[in-house]
Each structure stands twice: as C-alpha cells, then as structure tokens.
Structure 1
Amino acid sequence: MKKTIITTLLAFIFISGSANAQNFDDYFMDQTLRIDYLFNGNAQQQTVSLDELVSLPGWAGRRHSLDQFPLAGNGNIVMKDKASGKVIYRTSFSSLFQEWLGEKEAQHVTRGFENTFLLPYPKKTAVVTIQLMNAYHKPCASLTHEIDPQDILIHQRGITRITPHKYLLRSGTPEECIDIAIMAEGYTANEMPLFYQDAQDACDAIFNHEPFKHMKNRFNIVAVESVSQDSGVSIPRNKDWKNTAVNSHFDTFYSDRYLTTRSVKAMHNWLAGIPYEHIIILANTDTYGGGGIFNAYLLTTAHHQMFKPVVVHEFGHSFGGLADEYAYDTAPSPLYPYSVEPWEPNITTLVNFDSKWKDLVPENTPIPTPVETDSTTIYTKVGVYEGGGYTLKGIYRPASECRMKINEAPRFCPVCERALEKLILFYTE
C-alpha cells in the first residue's frame, strides 16, 4: 500500500465514501453522541439492541472525510441526515462479541456484550445504522434507529464530576490531534502516583516506535485517575476476584493470558468530559497478558517485564487495526477463512494481494518467501511469509519478524509502519 503515502491513502479511503467535501458545521454540533449498544446472540444468530444515548461536551474526533473510513473492521456504523438521506458520518470497529462467536461456547450459549461508540452530535434528526459482519465479510446483524438531537432522554454526562486527569503529551487542540486516554485499572487512590509513572512508560514505549515517533506532534495523551477499590485485577483461575474500575479479568474465553473487560459503559463513564478517541487501560499487576480490540480499547499489564513491547503490540490492534502475525496451529482459524481476504492490512490469504503490500515485494520473490535469518534484515525484508492470523498454513505476513509477531522485535515491519502512518494521516489531515 505505498506509492506516495498521500496518493494511496486518498485512493484507499474513497472506496468507502464519496469524494465530495463535507463541512462538519453543516451537520454537527461541537458535542459527542455516545451510543451504547448490546450485541447479543450465539454462533447461529446475532442481534443488536440499542441500550442508551449519551451526550458529551465537545467532539474530539475528525472533522473531515466524515463519510469515509479506511478500514473495514468487523462492523461498521453509518449516520445519515434524515431529511436528505446523505451519509454524514462513517466509522468501523471490531468487538469482543464477534471474536467470541468463534469460540466453542458460542455453539451452545447465548450471551450479550456491551459496546459503545462515539459519533459527532447531529444538529438535525439523523438515522444511524450499525452492522455486524461475519468472518466471510457478510452482514449477520444490523440495527437502524433515529437520533432526535432534542430527545430529553439523551443522558448528559461530563458536565460535572469529571474524573481527575493529567496530560502527559499535549500537542494541540482535540480538533488538531488524535486524543488517547490512558486509564488506571486496579490502582487504588494511594497508588495513583504509580499509575502516572506507568502511564508515562506506556506513552514513551509507543513513541519510541515508528511511525508514532516522527508523528508524535499529532497526538494528545491524557492519563485518567479511574480509581479502584482493590489493588490488582481479577484472575479467575486463581479464584481471585477484585473490585476494580472496569472489572477486567484474565482467562477471557478460558485463555490464561487474555485480559479484557465487558464493562464497556463503565469505562466510558469514567472518561465523560475528557476529550478522547482511543483508550489504553493499564492493569496494576505483574501477571502476563493483555488484549486489544480495534476502535474499542486495549488492556495490558503494567508490571510484567514485557509491559512495554506488549502495550505497543496491543496499540497496533486497537488503534491501527493490525492483525496478529503469530501462528500456533495448522488448522484454519475461524476468524480468517481462506476464501476471503482479511481486512487487516498486515496479513493476506492472497485472495486479493493487490490490495495489500504487493507493491513492496521485490520482483522474483518466491511465494511463500523463505524465512529471513539475517539479523540485519529480519524485520525489514518484505516478502510473503507463511504463517499469521493464528494459523501456520494459508495465511501470510509481510516480514519474518515484527512487533505484531514477537515481543522481542524492536519495531513494526515496513508494512505495519506504512498502514499506521496512513491511518494517522487520515485522522489528522
């Protein structure tokens, strides 16, 4: 995906929307509409329910390219002006619910998962459609509903009792920059000095990696004192349950290292009144683990020795929509059927390799590409290396090693770097 970065970026995003310029002030107030949904169902049937509408002061998101978004995600949200039918905002996402649908439990259990999304606040009645996609990129559930901006039951938050916070990086206004909130999880009131140091370490780790390093002036980072009653986080396998700010726990889907939360509304309530677009949650524990969900949040442990590389890896998921490049099984992953091209920019099934990094692969490179062993090029030599997206066969990654594959990698591979840079440019130009 790289001819010149700007040219390719524009060609890419116009696939999802019109090329006509759109003025933010024509359709939106300087406020945020927070929509809380419930994703319900099982492997056979899924539904989306509207839970709550919330009004927040200010809009920290983009004010340009509103009807476009460069990544497909596993779901999408489209807002239309009711009177004209014009698309006035579009975004995409992934969710823990959709990941759970690939688990064995989903074959015989029905569950509901909280999901929250931030949209600009419409001046006039708007129609919002949210759609979930299955692993074959086909719609599997959707909901369309109207937004009356004068509805008295839209809950106003963030006006008073704003959670204490401190900026670690302030490069500009929310209109100019990408706003990242770093939340405390499992830190008591007395442990907030420790949290602020951990948040600074996370910030430093991210901006020690390209392209974040040379684009640092496009970000604001705020650390938020979401206080927990108990110190530490829940580890169910040890029968150790804590009372914490967002009720996170290990053993998600019975996987020891998978640390997530389903208390998504609580997470966003802590942040009400603070400008934010993306969320990093730091867990006060030395147990290894974490998780990152595109356009939702990332959670990782702050006191394990691998904290810094893991927070960068998970940020690659939650911010950049990058896929895991590691593999541990020859069986196909339920998340990545071989017959479709993954939407993530850093893995391919070769179904539509032209849309990925084909332009970066040197001529006469064999496919699959033999694994690179030269330590000087192991992270930079672009090819088509078999193994990624959790399976050893049929899915390919761009480099032998990358931050999205192993903790020991000192950098993202060139393909991941390019994808991240394109996204930063999309948000800020």
Structure 2
Amino acid sequence: MRKRIMFTLLALLFWWNGAEAQSFDDYFIDKTLRVDYLFNGDASKQVISLDELVSLPGWAGRRHALDRLPLEGNGDITMVDKASGKVIYRTSFSSLFQEWLGEKEAQLLTRGFENTFLLPYPKYPAIVTVRLKDVRHQPCAVLKHEVNPEDILIHQRGTSQITPHRYLLQNGASDACIDIAILAEGYTSDEMKLFYKDAQDACEAIFSHEPFKRLKHKFNVVAVESVSQDSGVSIPRKNEWKNTAVSSHFDTFYSDRYLTTRSVKAMHNWLAGIPYEHIIILANTDTYGGGGIYNAYLLTTAHHAMFKPVVVHEFGHSFGGLADEYAYDEAPSPLYPYEVEPWEPNITTLVDFGSKWKDLVPEGIPVPTPVETDPAKIYTKVGVYEGAGYTKKGIYRPTTECRMKINEAPCFCPVCERALERLIRFYTE
C-alpha cells in the first residue's frame, strides 16, 4: 500500500510539473522581435523610450526556461501574455548608459543611448516591461508597452539584402546552439580577407579556454562582412575620425583605451536575417583597447599584441556577465557600493557571499586571503582575495590572478569557469 501511495504521489508530481511547463510553441512563433529603446536622462533621473519594433526571420534564442533570468544584470525585460497575465519570457542586460551615469558628465547634462534587445516573437498580444536598476539594484526607470504581433508598423528586416557572411563554426541548429556573430569594424571591402583571418583568430582564442573548449559543440560562430568606408577606427584624442560600419571610437568617457559604439541599431541592422544571440566586433587597428557589456556586445582591437587575451576577457563580460577583477583606486567604485552584493558571479562585498563561491573556499582560509605566490596556484587556489571591481579595499575576487584580472593569465579561474559553464548550460539544456 505504501509503495502504491508513493507511486501515485510521484505520478501527480510529474503531471503537475508537466502541466506547469511552458512550451515555446504555446506563445511564440519562429521569428524574432527586435525591440529598439532609447535610454535617456542624467544622474538624477532616467527615462526609457520605445524607438522601434522590428521583425526578423527565425529565433536563435533559448526555447526552454523562458520565464527565468540568465543573470540578474543591471536591467531586465519581462514579456507577459496579455490575455492570461502569464510571464512568457525574461532576459537581462547591462548598458553603456548605466555605466555613464557614474561619470561626472552625467551630473551636468542629459544624454540618450540606443539599446536593442532580441525577444521571441509572440503569437498573441503581449505586454513588455523593461526596467533599469541603479547601483543598489533598485528600479530607477521602467517602461511598459504593448506589442501587437499583427501591428503593420513593425518594421520587417532580414528578408532581403542580407549581409554576406561565413560560418567559422557550425555545430547545429540555432535552437540547440548558442549563436555568436562576429562583425567587421573599420575593414574596407578590400580588407575582408584580413577580417576573416582575424575572426578565425578570435574564435580560436575563445575556444582555447575552458569551459568553452569542452563545450565547443554547443556553439555556432558566423563572421559577417560589415564593410566600412574607411580603414581603421576613430581615435578622438588624435583627431582621427573614420567612417566605419558601427561608428566605434576610443576615448569613451575620456578613457584612452575604452573602445565602444553608441550606434547600436546600425550594428543590429548589419545582422538582420542572420541567426545571432551574442555579438563580437573586431576593430581593424593596432591601438590597444576594447570594451564588453553584458548581453549587448564586445568591441576589441584585432591587431594589438594582446588581441587574443583581450577578446577572451571582453567575452567574459559580454557573454558571461563577469566583472573586472582588477583594482586601481582606494576609494569605492560608484558602480559597487560596499553595502550591496554585486550581481556579477566573480566578485563579492561579502554581503551575500553564500550566493557566490563560498562553497569552493576550503575551511580555515583567512579573509582576506593572502596573495598566492606559488606560480602553480595563482590561477587555481580559490579564496577571498581583496581588490576587485576597480577598488583595492572592500571588494574581493576568487583567485590571485585570472583572465578577468590580467592579460597574462592563461585561463579563467575556477569560479569564473563554473559561472560560464552554468550560463552555457542554461542557454542550451
């Protein structure tokens, strides 16, 4: 009798889980809804505006765990079925706009930044809510708007004039793999052979690192010929301005090596009609620099001696949501208040260390952990090392050295590697 009762309870449990599980086909069709926003404001007030809705053929994103966030991020998007009120999709992101809010300029003027996100295309009317959060993880700007999938003003792209492209890695259909697109920036039509070589080098650099190496079969990588009028990229401090595919430039926020673009819509227009989820942009220059923004893009220079380690580091940001582990300032960073636990998985203020890598720290390890000097252990001995998130005191990293700290590191530390693997499996399993 007891066995029969247990069997019945298990059967009911499986039935309940199956009844609650959301099927992609229940709410979505195999298309992408590209949502273009403008994030506007200054340090005191932020506003989100809807710019444009775009329809793209095919959906390259996940088709499971649709109502879960991959990471917390600095903002999130929630799509709700209008008729039932059911959450049918969620995703998270960070933005250059939110980073700018910590700059002095944000105290003096108002700016607007383009931001574009990819959502599965709903079958029925849906309500989309996008939120920006401040450094204490509290919502600071919210926009809610309705999406009618039959709206005739949803701009259709990607059905003609698709940018020439070539697959560097193709392991399966988009519904089973993570699709990465590599864009050319500052390469003229005569330099596309060089671009494909650089894209191949970037691909090989990323997949020489764990966990990407052992999970390589879960990725597709496509190189896209986004042609620039001029060769090279803009360097404002040298009064060098170029006409390029996505209008990138160094000196972002007046930092010499910070290379970004605010022409986000142009970037996504180049990719219309090509399956993609994550974006790598290679700049045709030997000037050192780069930047990576979680669930937005990474940009890095292809001809500097440190190109390969930098592209991997920046991919840790844009794909994995990993934080910088280096520190250069005694004062706390405006991005990481001491009283708040950062959402990034590889740094901590110890406010909620249990949610980070506490389970990987051997019993008896002191906090802060003394810097490891044994070359065999500096990348692997997990502890609580002080100095991370641009701040020398009060913020901690997992190991003495890591790919997220120095270019010379040959690998991600065990904490970063675990975080990356969890994310890969979240998207594909």
Q: TM-score, normalised by structure 1?
A: 0.96
Amino acid paired to 2:115: N
- Matches of 1:338 and 1:361, distance apart in 2: 21
| 3-state SS of paired residue (2:174) | coil
| 3-state SS of paired residue (1:193) | helix
- Matches of 1:308 and 1:115, distance apart in 2: 27
Amino acid paired to 1:334: P
1:338-387 deviation line (CA, Å, top 9, x unaligned): 00000000000000000000000000000000000100000000000000
Question: How many residues are paired up?
Answer: 412
- Matches of 1:331 and 1:163, distance apart in 2: 46
Shift, 1:83, TM fit: 0.2
Q: Aligned residue for 1:122?
A: 122
Q: Aligned residue for 2:177?
A: 177
| 3-state SS of paired residue (1:68) | coil
Shift, 1:50, TM fit: 0.1
1:38-92 deviation line (CA, Å, top 9, x unaligned): 0000000000000000000000000000000131000000000000000000000
- Matches of 2:109 and 2:397, distance apart in 1: 34
- Matches of 1:207 and 1:168, distance apart in 2: 12
- Matches of 2:21 and 2:393, distance apart in 1: 43
Amino acid paired to 2:96: L
- Matches of 2:82 and 2:373, distance apart in 1: 57
Amino acid paired to 2:61: G
- Matches of 2:34 and 2:395, distance apart in 1: 36
- Matches of 2:64 and 2:301, distance apart in 1: 35
The aligned runs of 1:256-275 (5 Å cut-off) are 256-275=256-275
| 3-state SS of paired residue (1:26) | helix
| 3-state SS of paired residue (2:372) | coil
Amino acid paired to 2:242: K
Q: Aligned residue for 2:350?
A: 350
The aligned runs of 1:184-333 (5 Å cut-off) are 184-333=184-333
Matched, 1:385 2:382: no
- Matches of 1:360 and 1:263, distance apart in 2: 41
Amino acid paired to 1:408: E
Q: Residues 19 and 296 (structure 1 numbering): CA distance in 2 closer, same or farther, change over 3 Å?
A: farther
Cα root mean square deviation, aligned: 0.9
Q: Residues 42 and 221 (structure 1 numbering): CA distance in 2 closer, same or farther, change over 3 Å?
A: same
Q: Aligned residue for 2:8?
A: none
Q: Aligned residue for 2:163?
A: 163
| 3-state SS of paired residue (2:205) | helix
Shift, 1:109, TM fit: 1.0
Q: Aligned residue for 2:4?
A: none
- Matches of 1:19 and 1:324, distance apart in 2: 42
| 3-state SS of paired residue (2:234) | coil
Shift, 1:418, TM fit: 0.0
- Matches of 2:36 and 2:388, distance apart in 1: 33
| 3-state SS of paired residue (1:421) | helix
Q: Aligned residue for 2:34?
A: 34
- Matches of 2:267 and 2:178, distance apart in 1: 19
Amino acid paired to 2:326: Y
| 3-state SS of paired residue (1:199) | helix
| 3-state SS of paired residue (1:367) | coil
Q: Aligned residue for 1:413?
A: 413
| 3-state SS of paired residue (1:198) | helix
Q: Aligned residue for 2:143?
A: 143
- Matches of 1:42 and 1:20, distance apart in 2: 42
Identity of aligned residues (%): 81
Q: Aligned residue for 1:4?
A: none
| 3-state SS of paired residue (2:312) | helix
1:262-320 deviation line (CA, Å, top 9, x unaligned): 00000000000000000000000000000000000000000000000000000000000
Q: Aligned residue for 1:398?
A: 398
Q: Aligned residue for 2:12?
A: none
| 3-state SS of paired residue (2:62) | coil
TM superposition outliers: structure 1 runs of 4+ over 4 Å: none
Shift, 1:225, TM fit: 0.1
Q: Aligned residue for 1:428?
A: 428
Amino acid paired to 1:307: F
1:172-215 deviation line (CA, Å, top 9, x unaligned): 00011000000000000000000000000000000000000000
The higher relative CO (CA closer than 8 Å, separation ≥ 6) is in 1
| 3-state SS of paired residue (1:415) | helix
- Matches of 1:414 and 1:393, distance apart in 2: 22
- Matches of 2:326 and 2:423, distance apart in 1: 23
Q: Residues 152 and 277 (structure 1 numbering): CA distance in 2 closer, same or farther, change over 3 Å?
A: same
- Matches of 2:319 and 2:408, distance apart in 1: 21
Amino acid paired to 2:353: F
Shift, 1:19, TM fit: 11
- Matches of 1:375 and 1:300, distance apart in 2: 29
Q: TM-score, normalised by structure 2?
A: 0.96
1:146-175 deviation line (CA, Å, top 9, x unaligned): 000000000000000000000000000001
Matched, 1:375 2:375: yes
- Matches of 2:109 and 2:392, distance apart in 1: 29
- Matches of 1:356 and 1:188, distance apart in 2: 45
* Structure with bigger gyration radius: 2
- Matches of 2:413 and 2:130, distance apart in 1: 33
Q: Aligned residue for 2:112?
A: 112
- Matches of 2:310 and 2:20, distance apart in 1: 40
Q: Aligned residue for 1:14?
A: none
- Matches of 2:341 and 2:237, distance apart in 1: 36
Matched, 1:46 2:50: no
- Matches of 2:198 and 2:109, distance apart in 1: 38
